[in-house]
Structure 1
């Protein structure tokens, strides 16, 4: 049945609809207007909670660092020493830090945080906070666990099974270390993409602190990953290995550190180390070998006969070149093949002897952490004639090496020795080359491989080679100031200021220390030194001009592993300084340079100035 419509029915219906929908629309509009305020409140509350969680995670990580240091000492925790399954202090602190970081990450996810972080200008700090929380979650959840887990295992292994057990632990943990290093690098890349400057200074400080921590952590995780992959095989886990071990005398500078003086042949068999023989540079004089290191190497060093003059075999700062030359020379000399080469110096011995205790010489005297450098690079020159001194160097090397070998078999000293080895390689005083290509490919990627980096990017290197035949580099001070100037969209100006100071006393030094085997055609005094000073610039750089003490000077151009090299033959009188200033144009880059630090007696003082303005 159809009812007839009453007049005005449609109008009444529309009025009723307005009565129904009016409040609904108003409520929706009010709710929409309240959403930003609610979202802001939500972000404020969860942001504060996330901040609290991150602070708690940082406190746990500080406690973790202290616990790791304690467990790596001579008296590990009882659980680690006994191999007990109970949770260690390190694992407990890491688990707590991971829980706090995961909660902070959870608090900063979701639609409100994601949307707000995309807002122009206002969203910058929120994006930074989200990034910091996510980075903390990944670091505590994926990067640190395998590293922390390995500490008590290595400590317990050192006490239970010595070096062989340590090698077993390293081999088993190598895949986890490799993954941790990869994740750490990914986290750093993500952190570098976070806003550098926002309207909230606290967020900017948090990002800067995170970047600083990652810049320190990433190389360490890569070092651990590479060490876990190469150390077991290099120490004879799969069969005996033999190495040429050179003790570099940094009183006479060479590219890799110092003159190759005393040496030994080191044998490694399933982690047990022993020395087959010792010798000095006299034994290698006159040994000639030919190793093709490329036209670039020949152009740079060929005139100095690195394959025929033993004292010039390591003029290049690229240690693999020296390793190959030393192994080839040893084979020419003895017919024996070696598996690689290792270089250390008296400063290295000092750091290692601080962990092991003093080494006793045949005459009853001691080489200690405090006197190793002075005894071998200054006092011995005043005490002995040439032949006696060379014999003394061999005796010192044998005594120190014997003390170190005993320490590797002493579970009380082994953890401290591991820390000392880390300190030595961090200073660039331990350099390794492997004759096995797969191992060498990994070694050259880390500082202990002693490689001159050949990757693009800002770079600054100061390398000196003693050209006088003296032992005056014991008294050499070096400083390098790298100052980027104005830039365009393609390049920028760079000023590199090198200052060298010869602190040699005017009297009292033995003739052998001050001798001038270069026989210069000009008059010199005892204590005057002569150096080949080489500056290694960034790939693609060009030198526009150079001055020495304010006067224009011409430098000898060259190239090594992609780096332009500019060399000055410098006479450096005693008690004097010389300042070399290089003005360069380099490819534009927004990061600080990699600094090549040649390890001599006195460390290089390097300063990197802030970047100048760019014109784009």
Structure 2
């Protein structure tokens, strides 16, 4: 699962994200407890316990808000004091619902189910405050060096030693999630159902967040060459010419980690690699049927598939065959990710050609690298060199240690959440840990926590027009009127072209494969939930035929969409949500995976209607 795929704050540390989720949970429970006061009043003194529980949780919510400020301002002493106060409040709330009177109330017919649910929610919150937050806070401070003697690695070595405590926090977060996951909201009072479902979702996300952090710390020492040097192929994806994982892999470099120190070994661009006569690695027949053998022959096409481990393995083998050294894995970044990293390094300067801007900052990086670099005069080779030199300037600054570790951690988290940072290891044990993280760039084989849907884009114009693309998507679960237990997903995606009607140079217009060189052509791949498939596809309201195949146990439907300058096209797909894990009768929130574009996606999602609820739409 991804760590908050649908709505992300721009600048939050890992602790800040968890604390924000915890604050929301406190507000939910603070609202939940008074709702139970009327029925509880008939059970004598339980009303007083409920009132005191409310008071403690309200104080806890206030402390959580203050704690967020302390974390963001890098005040570890204040943050630890606030965590201790928070623990006292959640422990007091837990005490109120743990007495014999309340326990007896949980065994009453009818009302007992509601009291037990409140008990489980309060207990889970106390476990998060006691066993999860302190460990996450400590790890974050160690990683960023906050409150520690200045470390030339930015506190990274200290953070790695905290992996054990985060492992324990992971177990506690999982226990808290399991405790509330066993509650059946449909068995509760109507007023409690929606709040409890929200608590379940938020604890699920918190557990996933801590689990991902623990997995990262388990694999990071090896990635950084703590025990032996490691060499990585870094691919710079160009989202002005989209590929499913983010963009055409243009510039690349090879970096070496040894004992946490980073050095650049070599660099180049995709034009240095001629097509191979045959795929460099054996291709799965289903993969070959979808993308042809070009995925294994052309360096620019290895990531037509959204599966980054497949793309990375092909790129690494191409690098080896062209005379490069064998690598331990591959990393992918794009200019948007570099702009995030520039928040930590500050502006950098580099050698630029005549008329080019050689000063790169977080504010101008995307425009310079994906627009200005292509519209100014110069040969294709000079444009590729400009991109490569800019990327090297950023990495040289990182290597020199001239960066803010807290801002760097925040940047890395944002890159990972948006899947602008991807990682693959050639070592199976490491790769198993990486696949628990969003940086794996891989849809799960099974949809255990809810249906996963993928919308992935490949440029079909042979041009660099995708800088001007704007995308929105609405993902809505629907229940069919005629088949009430059948769960469907309606996916409405709009593509808007802001390509100017004239004035672009030939290098940007490229091959013009859509006919009109200013018309953008997108090849859209829609990945259905496991066990499901496409029921219908419409483009601008008219039903269309699509090509289809399978990749990693999912049906893949492919449609070509041409977008004239200034135009908007709307693709609507109705997907069967599948039958895996009994999902036909569960109200689960779908998860959406998309190709990272220059401007990101505007995304709207909604939870599925629960049993007995009216369907969102009768169209099936």
Q: Aligned pair count?
A: 557
**Cα distance in structure 1, aligned partners of 2:42 and 2:101:** 6
Gaps in structure 2 of 5+ consecutive residues? 1-38, 579-583, 614-620
Q: Does the Cα contact within 8 Å between 2:224 and 2:257 map onto a contact in 1?
A: yes
Among candidates 378, 385, 410, match of residue 419 of structure 1: 410
TM-score if structure 2 supplies the norm length? 0.85
Q: Does the Cα contact within 8 Å between 1:39 and 1:112 map onto a contact in 2?
A: no
**Deviations, residues 180-204 of structure 1 (Å, cap 9, x unaligned):** 1222122123223335364474x55
**Cα distance in structure 2, aligned partners of 1:515 and 1:222:** 44
- 1:562 aligns with 553
**Cα distance in structure 2, aligned partners of 1:63 and 1:205:** 27
- 1:296 aligns with 286
Q: What is the 5 A alignment of 1:1-80? A: 40-71=43-74, 77=75
**Deviations, residues 212-259 of structure 1 (Å, cap 9, x unaligned):** 542442232122101110111100101111101011110000011000
Per mean C-alpha deviation after superposition, the further-off stretch among 546-555 and 205-214 is 205-214
Secondary structure in structure 2 of the residue aligned to 1:41? coil
What do you get for the CA RMSD once the two structures are aligned?
2.5
- 2:539 aligns with 548
- 1:84 aligns with none
**Deviations, residues 137-177 of structure 1 (Å, cap 9, x unaligned):** 1111111221122233334387532228523x333222221
- 1:226 aligns with 215
- 1:382 aligns with 375
Among candidates 358, 362, 387, match of residue 393 of structure 1: 387
Q: Does the Cα contact within 8 Å between 1:486 and 1:615 map onto a contact in 2?
A: no
159 and 511 in structure 1: CA distance in 2 versus 1, 3 angstrom threshold: farther
Instruction: Give the C-alpha shift of residue 525 in structure 1.
Output: 2.4
Instruction: Give the C-alpha shift of residue 39 in structure 1.
Output: 8.7
Q: What is the 5 A alignment of 1:482-561? A: 482-487=475-480, 488=483, 491-516=486-511, 518=513, 524-561=515-552
- 1:605 aligns with 602
TM-score if structure 1 supplies the norm length? 0.85
Q: Does the Cα contact within 8 Å between 2:479 and 2:485 map onto a contact in 1?
A: no
**Cα distance in structure 2, aligned partners of 1:139 and 1:275:** 42
Q: What is the 5 A alignment of 1:213-362? A: 213-287=202-276, 289-303=279-293, 305-362=294-351
- 1:134 aligns with 123
**Cα distance in structure 1, aligned partners of 2:328 and 2:433:** 15
Instruction: Give the C-alpha shift of residue 614 in structure 1.
Output: 5.5
**Cα distance in structure 1, aligned partners of 2:268 and 2:540:** 43
**Cα distance in structure 2, aligned partners of 1:184 and 1:551:** 47
**Cα distance in structure 2, aligned partners of 1:37 and 1:421:** 48
**Cα distance in structure 2, aligned partners of 1:509 and 1:267:** 39
**Cα distance in structure 2, aligned partners of 1:254 and 1:141:** 44
**Cα distance in structure 2, aligned partners of 1:542 and 1:200:** 34
Instruction: Give the C-alpha shift of residue 113 in structure 1.
Output: 1.6
60 and 575 in structure 1: CA distance in 2 versus 1, 3 angstrom threshold: same
Secondary structure in structure 2 of the residue aligned to 1:163? coil
Secondary structure in structure 1 of the residue aligned to 2:419? coil
**Cα distance in structure 2, aligned partners of 1:544 and 1:514:** 35
Gaps in structure 1 of 5+ consecutive residues? 1-35, 72-76, 81-87
**Cα distance in structure 1, aligned partners of 2:184 and 2:577:** 26
**Cα distance in structure 2, aligned partners of 1:413 and 1:615:** 52
Secondary structure in structure 2 of the residue aligned to 1:239? coil
Q: Does the Cα contact within 8 Å between 1:462 and 1:480 map onto a contact in 2?
A: no
- 2:442 aligns with 451
**Cα distance in structure 2, aligned partners of 1:131 and 1:603:** 38
- 2:171 aligns with 182
- 1:109 aligns with 98
Secondary structure in structure 2 of the residue aligned to 1:40? coil
- 2:13 aligns with none
**Cα distance in structure 2, aligned partners of 1:610 and 1:445:** 24
**Cα distance in structure 2, aligned partners of 1:138 and 1:323:** 40
Instruction: Give the C-alpha shift of residue 38 in structure 1.
Output: 10
